[in-house]
Amino acid sequence: MRGERNRLIFKGEAVSILRRLEELRQRERLPIRKAATLLRGELAAEDADIVLFVKPELEIAVLQDALREACCERNRWREYALALQAVLPSELKWMTSTAPPEAEDRRLN
């Protein structure tokens, strides 16, 4: 169903299915398509008449959330590494030259 500003509105069993899909994606670290395939198998075992598919809009939204989460985690680890570098004893300062490229390096962003 579509709501205000053409937003998708999920009710009832659809919400349960989406929650299970997200649980598989996060806990099992499965790509969304593999999680959907696994969930489809679970549902088929319960009811052979249910057909599950992932709409592209939903898949994009889930992937965008995962990307934002990964960027936040990357930034936390980067800050942690910089804090550790700041407290290195002088005899271990050589280790800072083995660090990955700076934050401005687009390969990591």
Domain range list for the chain: 4-108
d(CA 41, CA 79): 42
Asked whether residue 50 carries a pLDDT value surpassing 60, the answer given is no
Kindly report, residue by residue over 83-109, the tens digit of the pLDDT: 888 888 888 877 777 665 565 655 554
Mean pLDDT value across residues 25-41: 83
- Is pTM, for the whole model, over 0.95? no
Kindly report, residue by residue over 4-22, the tens digit of the pLDDT: 677 777 667 777 778 888 8
Q: And the tokens for 81? A: 């590494």
d(CA 50, CA 14): 11
* Residue type present at position 47: D
**CA–CA–CA angle 64, 66, 67 (5° rounding):** 65
Q: And the tokens for 12? A: 């009832």
60, 73 in Cβ contact below 8 A? no
Q: And the tokens for 51? A: 């057909």
Mean pLDDT value across residues 54-77: 84
